[in-house]
Every structure is written in structure tokens, then in C-alpha cells.
Amino acid sequence: MSSELFIGLMSGTSMDAIDCVLIDLAEPINVIDFINVDIPEKLKHDILDLCQEQGDDQIKKLGETDVELGKLFASAVISILEKNQISASQIQAIGSHGQTIRHQPPRQNNSAFTIQIADPNTIAALTGITTVADFRRKDMALGGQGAPLLPIFHQQVFKNIQADKIILNIGGIANITLLKKDDMQIIGFDTGPGNILLDSWVQQNLNQHFDKDGKWAATGESNSELLAFMLEDSYFSCPPPKSTGREYFNSLWIDKVLADYANDISPQDVQATLVELTAISIAETVKGLLETGEIIVCGGGTKTPS
């Protein structure tokens, strides 16, 4: 049997870890192994710095962080190869999404752009494997939202489906792909926040990266008034295609909503309300797209119980 071994590299909006997958794309697709590599705190801090508007010159930091992250991505590849006793020469190519540090989707009268770092040249040099990267900018140059691959991948994986299907990924941002059984057209877009607001608020209040198993949120109660207020954000009612990121849904977004809401509410209740905001914004979108069918849910958001 022929094999077509590839390695995929990704770090999502949450910046929780680098995901590295070793996959055989010969039919049927076979995931051979999957590892996560932690991002050291200093590097994470530098990436987060680059994600924010700053007055000072960031070009040096951008260049350095790009290469540092490239080295870490390369180390993930080397680890997964060693673990599976596979040599670099057996790998056809690495596909590296990189780490998004800025995503400015097309709006009226703006200059849309998206930037991912983790230098693919460094990855190629350190691993000796052909490295394919920069997946998103051509799509933006053509007027898209800059996320062209995931829906096509889903369509390829879920061929000849018997029922309409939604694949929902609850990462930092939540995104969906809608596949229709009788229609080749694919719809894919970001529904809004996934874990990003939950992570921001728990970081701000408990100095933890995330609310493990939603335990802290469970000590609070969702506030329906605040929830309704949050849902007034125009992103939720904006029709697709649309995409968003850390630039929009972040701790400043929470601070602004709370300042405008202007009623006292405990931090736990805010967290519980943010969980519900995530769930409801996803559920409403799904209801609008699919009357009957199947939903496959993935991403770190599956770890927060409902």
C-alpha cells in the first residue's frame, strides 16, 4: 500500500499549544499521531504583544518572534518524527498554518489583511522537509475572509454524506462548515467567540490560562440581561461570510460591555454568562442553517460542560 505522509502544524487563536499531526493522506486518510507542544511563557508573551496595537516599533520583535516560533514548530516536527521512528525523507511535505498575530477581515473601505508567523523557511531548514505555508493571504487578496482550506478539507473528509452536516470547531474563535448532502456548495465562517472570552476573563480574575472543565463558571449563574446586552454586538447579526479574531473579541470587549451595562455583577456570573454567550451564538447560527442533520463538534471548547 502506498503512503503519503504529511505533517500539519497549527497554533490557534487560544495560543494554548502548537498542534502537530502526522497524517497519511493515502485513502483512507489515517491520523498516525498527534502531539501538542507548549509555547514557553516568554514567547507567548511576545506573540500576545504583537497581537495588540502598540505605538512603538514592533518590526524587530516581529522578525525575532517569527523565527523563534519557527524553531518551536520545527521542534514539534522533530519530536513527532522521533516518537514514530520516521525519517524526514519519508515525509512529502509539512503544511504550516503558523500563528495568526493580526486578522483584519474585509469591511467596507478598509485594507483587509491577515498575518501568520512561525517562519516556514526556518521550519524547512531545521527539518529538511519541504514546507508549505502562507495559506490565507491569497484568499484575502481575492476578496475572501482568509480561511479557505478548512471547509474544503471537511468536504473532502466527509464525502457522500447521507444527511446535511455541520462541523463545528470551538477553538479560541468558533467556526463552522456546513456541508449539504445534495449540494456541492460549502459554507464556512466564524460564528464568534469560542473560548477566547472565557480564557481572557479567567486570566484577568484568577490568573489562570483557562477555566478547567468550566469549574469556575459553574459556581456562577448566567445573567439573562447581560447576555441579551452582549448579544446586541453587531458581529452576531452580521450575515456570513464573516471572520473574526483576537483583535475584536478580547478582554477589552468584555470591559467595554461591562462598563456599558453598568450593573453590579460578580466575576463568576460574568464567566457563566460568557459560557452561555458562546453556546447561544453558536446554537442560533446552527439553527439558522440546519433544520435536521448532524453536528460534529471539535476543539478545546468541547471540554467546557454545558
Ligand X SMILES: Nc1ncnc2c1ncn2[C@@H]1O[C@H](COP(=O)(O)OP(=O)(O)O)[C@@H](O)[C@H]1O
Find which of ligand X, Mg ion, none residue 83 binds, CB within 5 to 8 Å per kind.
none
Is 271 a binder of ligand X (CB under 6 A)? no
Question: Which one of 210, 216, 249, 253 is in contact with ligand X (CB under 6 A)?
Answer: 210
Q: Considering only residues 11 through 40, tell me which ones interact with Mg ion, judged by CB under 5 A.
A: 12, 14, 16
3's CB contacts (< 8 A; 6+ apart) are 24, 26
Is 164 a binder of Mg ion (CB under 5 A)? no
Find which of ligand X, Mg ion, none residue 243 binds, CB within 5 to 8 Å per kind.
none
CB of 260 to ligand X, least distance (A): 25
Q: CA–CA separation, 61 vs 50, rounded Å?
A: 8
Is 304 a binder of ligand X (CB under 6 A)? yes
Is 14 a binder of ligand X (CB under 6 A)? yes
Is 120 a binder of ligand X (CB under 6 A)? no
Select the span of 40-48, 112-120, 205-213, 282-290 touching ligand X (CB under 6 A): 205-213
Binding footprint of ligand X, residue count (CB under 6 A): 19
Is 151 a binder of ligand X (CB under 6 A)? no
- 91 versus 170: smaller Cβ distance to ligand X: 170
Query: Cell 478547567 belongs to which residue?
Result: 212
- 14 versus 155: smaller Cβ distance to ligand X: 14
- 16 versus 46: smaller Cβ distance to ligand X: 16
Q: CA–CA separation, 227 vs 274, rounded Å?
A: 8
Is 299 a binder of ligand X (CB under 6 A)? yes
CB of 17 to Mg ion, least distance (A): 6
Is 220 a binder of ligand X (CB under 6 A)? no
Is 83 a binder of ligand X (CB under 6 A)? no
Is 16 a binder of ligand X (CB under 6 A)? yes
Query: Cell 489562570 belongs to which residue?
Result: 208
Select the span of 9-17, 98-106, 196-204, 266-274 touching Mg ion (CB under 5 A): 9-17
Check: CB of residue 285 under 8 Å from CB of residue 191: yes
Contact residues for Mg ion (CB under 5 A)? 12, 14, 16
